[in-house]
């Protein structure tokens, strides 16, 4: 698992999680890493391994969700020749490969109950038995597991073995999502931006325009740091004027006026009448936001300004193209720009 293993961030929630990983690293006990997608669970696994006494032994990773259920046990525990159709020769499993090192099991919650039972025995007794073999093999493996599932809830429902959860949760490290890491979005954006600019051979780093930084801070980041990195790198490589701050980012890479339309039969099904007693869909957006409005004129002005800034950035601040895209004359757009002081303090030319 070769990745960049350094951490970037300054928020208390993030630093607490990293510190907990550092303290748990020397212990040869299982650790469970919980977090949404893109929060850096793999980096925590690397830290746990490299700060442990096993740092010079193998770090073996396995994504439990990437294999069909029929192959997971063979992948974890290995198999003998002829154990099943297609097993032409014996093969060691991930446990044997990780002997004296660390085994990182990603997407742990997707393991079948059968695989969970065999995993429990391996954790409990330090032995694994290849499929088709009659004798177990002793292994010394430290397990780090990761998931974005609520494992205690799954265990309560009988969908995950409670005894396995007990064995794996000597320490539980829960990573905070990016949206609650105060101050980290700007730091990460600068880091990814500078690195992408260097990769592209830019002479300097122009930074981001203030309205871009504001939009980055306001975005919810459902994909967390991984999504932020994609957004920043895409914005940098699309930007041509290296001497000016980057003034446009696109959060959804699929957003396009030529995006394929949904097939007619699906639109018809979606438009079918809702069952009696159901709540009709609303096109009003978040009603909580609307309830918070106490100054209609200010709210309208703020929305209009956001539309203008987004459109200008999308069209690389070409005002004639922006005017055409918004259905305005050039003079109307110029008036709106002056009204909202969008280019105030900048060279409007």
| CATH class of the 182-255+285-339 domain in this structure | mainly alpha
What pLDDT score was predicted for residue 314?
74
What pLDDT score was predicted for residue 78?
85
Q: What are phi and psi of 63, to 5 degrees?
A: -90, 110
What pLDDT score was predicted for residue 264?
64
- DSSP annotation of 208 reads B
What pLDDT score was predicted for residue 138?
93
∠ CA 122-173-178 to the nearest 5 degrees? 135
What pLDDT score was predicted for residue 174?
97
Mean pLDDT by 10 residues, the chain (349 residues): 67 95 96 96 96 96 87 85 74 91 96 91 90 88 96 95 96 96 96 96 94 93 96 95 92 85 64 48 46 80 85 78 85 86 56
Residue 124 CB: number of other CB atoms within 10 A? 11
Confirm whether 12-176 and 182-255+285-339 share one CATH topology: no
DSSP string, 292-331: T---HHHHHHHHHHHHHHHHHHHTTT-HHHHHHHHT--HH
Whole-number Å distance between alpha carbons of 326 and 245 = 23
Looking up tokens 């949206």, which residue turns up? 179
Q: Which CATH architecture best describes the domain 12-176?
A: 3-Layer(aba) Sandwich (3.40)
Residue 35 CB: number of other CB atoms within 10 A? 19
**Does the pTM of the predicted model rise above 0.85?**
no
What pLDDT score was predicted for residue 80?
80
Angle between helix 296-314 and helix 319-326 axes, rounded to 10 deg: 120
Q: Where are the domains of the chain?
A: 12-176, 182-255+285-339
What pLDDT score was predicted for residue 285?
40
Residue 80 CB: number of other CB atoms within 10 A? 16
Residue (of 203, 208, 204) closest to 187 by Cα position: 208
């Amino acid at each position: 698992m070769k990745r960049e293993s350094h951490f970037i961030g300054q928020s208390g929630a993030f630093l607490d999680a990293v510190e907990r990983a550092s303290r748990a690293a020397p212990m040869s006990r299982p650790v469970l890493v919980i977090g949404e997608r893109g929060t850096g669970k793999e980096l925590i696994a690397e830290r746990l391994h490299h700060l442990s006494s096993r740092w010079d032994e193998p770090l073996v990773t396995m994504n439990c969700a990437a294999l069909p259920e029929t192959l997971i046990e063979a992948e974890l525990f290995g198999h003998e020749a002829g154990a099943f159709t297609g097993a032409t020769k014996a093969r060691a499993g991930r446990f044997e490969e990780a002997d004296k090192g660390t085994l990182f099991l990603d997407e742990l919650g997707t393991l079948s109950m059968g695989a969970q039972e065999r995993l429990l025995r391996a954790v409990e007794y330090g032995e694994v038995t290849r499929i088709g073999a009659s004798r177990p093999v002793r292994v010394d493996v430290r397990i780090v597991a990761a998931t974005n599932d609520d494992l205690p809830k799954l265990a309560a429902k009988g969908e995950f073995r409670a005894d396995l959860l007990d064995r794996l949760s000597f320490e539980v490290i829960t990573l905070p999502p990016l949206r609650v890491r105060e101050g980290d979005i700007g730091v990460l954006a600068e880091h990814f931006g500078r690195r992408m600019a260097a990769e592209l051979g830019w002479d300097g780093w122009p930074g981001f325009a203030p309205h871009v930084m504001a939009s980055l801070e306001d975005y919810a980041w459902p994909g967390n740091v991984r999504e932020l990195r994609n957004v920043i790198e895409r914005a940098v490589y699309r930007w041509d004027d290296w001497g000016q701050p980057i003034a446009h980012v696109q959060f959804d890479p699929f957003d396009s006026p030529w995006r394929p339309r949904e097939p007619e039969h699906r639109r018809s099904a979606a438009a079918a009448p809702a069952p009696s007693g159901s709540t009709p869909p609303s096109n009003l957006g978040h009603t909580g936001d609307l309830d918070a409005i106490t100054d209609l004129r200010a709210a309208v002005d703020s929305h209009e300004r956001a539309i203008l800034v987004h459109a200008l950035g999308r069209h690389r601040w070409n005002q004639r193209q922006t005017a055409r895209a918004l259905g305005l004359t050039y003079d109307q757009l110029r008036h709106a720009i002056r009204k909202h002081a969008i280019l105030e303090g900048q060279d409007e030319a």
